[in-house]
Amino acid sequence: MTELVHLDRADGVATITLDSPSNRNALSGQLQSELAAHVDTAAHDNDVRAIVLTATGTVFCSGADLKGAQPSAGVTYPDLLLSLLQAPKPVIAALNGAVRAGGIGLVASCDIVVAPADATFAFAEVRIGVAPAIIGVVCLRRMPPLAASRYFLTGEVFTAAEAVAAGLVTIACPGEEVAARVAALTGEIRRTAPGAVAETKRLLTELPAHSLADGFELAAATSARLFASDEARAGIAAFRDRRPAPWDPAAREG
């Protein structure tokens, strides 16, 4: 069986590539299973500091595989989205082209999204008689209500610039600049403390769901635990001594 998703690791970055251009990288059972497995591998690799999710062809992901095999019971679509959301490493989507329906769920589950300016997006579900139900769980955490209402209900195509305004894309730039923008972001991430980043990702997901009182309680407990950690002690000592922290690549270069 030909692999549909590839994993490459280099310089602290795990690049996961959807490679099923013949069906526009649709979410077949095989693609979902392989993607989830590669995310899990990268998430548990201590040498990996950031995960980049990209694709081959002209379409990043067209959503559900309506013409081929449906996802198996092994890895469900919610499982896949949770694997991206809960990965203890920053996940950057480096888009290569159009994104439709369930593909937008993948995008909304990433922490940072870089898109070529000519990429297009659409919640096409309502045009084939279904609803953007599961992807709504993640997209509604990103999108302002009026943008969600418009694009969910009309199914219209919208641009990368409009996706930025709608909270789905972080950076829209010329296509030839996407790789450089992603490389710059991963370079910055490699300077951060791994444990602190993992905790920050958790807070980004969990804090909005708490009341103010519960949010402050969770934040205070997390802050106290982190300040007492070996990682924080090393980072604060490096700051005071005006030298790179142990996890910063500059510490190994100096």
Q: Catalytic positions, please?
A: 125
Find tokens 């070529």 and name the residue. Answer: 116
Specify the DSSP element, H or E, that contains 239.
Answer: helix 230-240
Specify the DSSP element, H or E, that contains 53.
Answer: strand 50-55
- With CA atoms as reference, report the closest residue to 149 among 159, 161, 140: 140
Tokens standing for 42? 């990268």
| 114 in Cβ contact with 186 (< 8 Å) | no
What is the C-alpha to C-alpha distance for residues 113 and 173, in angstroms, rounded to an integer?
Answer: 11
Tell me, rounded to whole angstroms, the distance of Cα 195 from its chain centroid. Answer: 18
DSSP classification of residue 228: T
CA dihedral over 142, 147, 150, 155, signed as positive or negative: negative
What is the C-alpha to C-alpha distance for residues 237 and 81, in angstroms, rounded to an integer?
Answer: 37
CA distances from 104 to 139, 163, 241, 252 (A): 8, 10, 45, 38
Tokens standing for 86? 């809960």
Specify the DSSP element, H or E, that contains 32.
Answer: helix 29-43
Contact residues for 253 (Cβ-Cβ < 8 A; gap 6+)? none
The neighbouring-strand residues paired with 158 are: 121
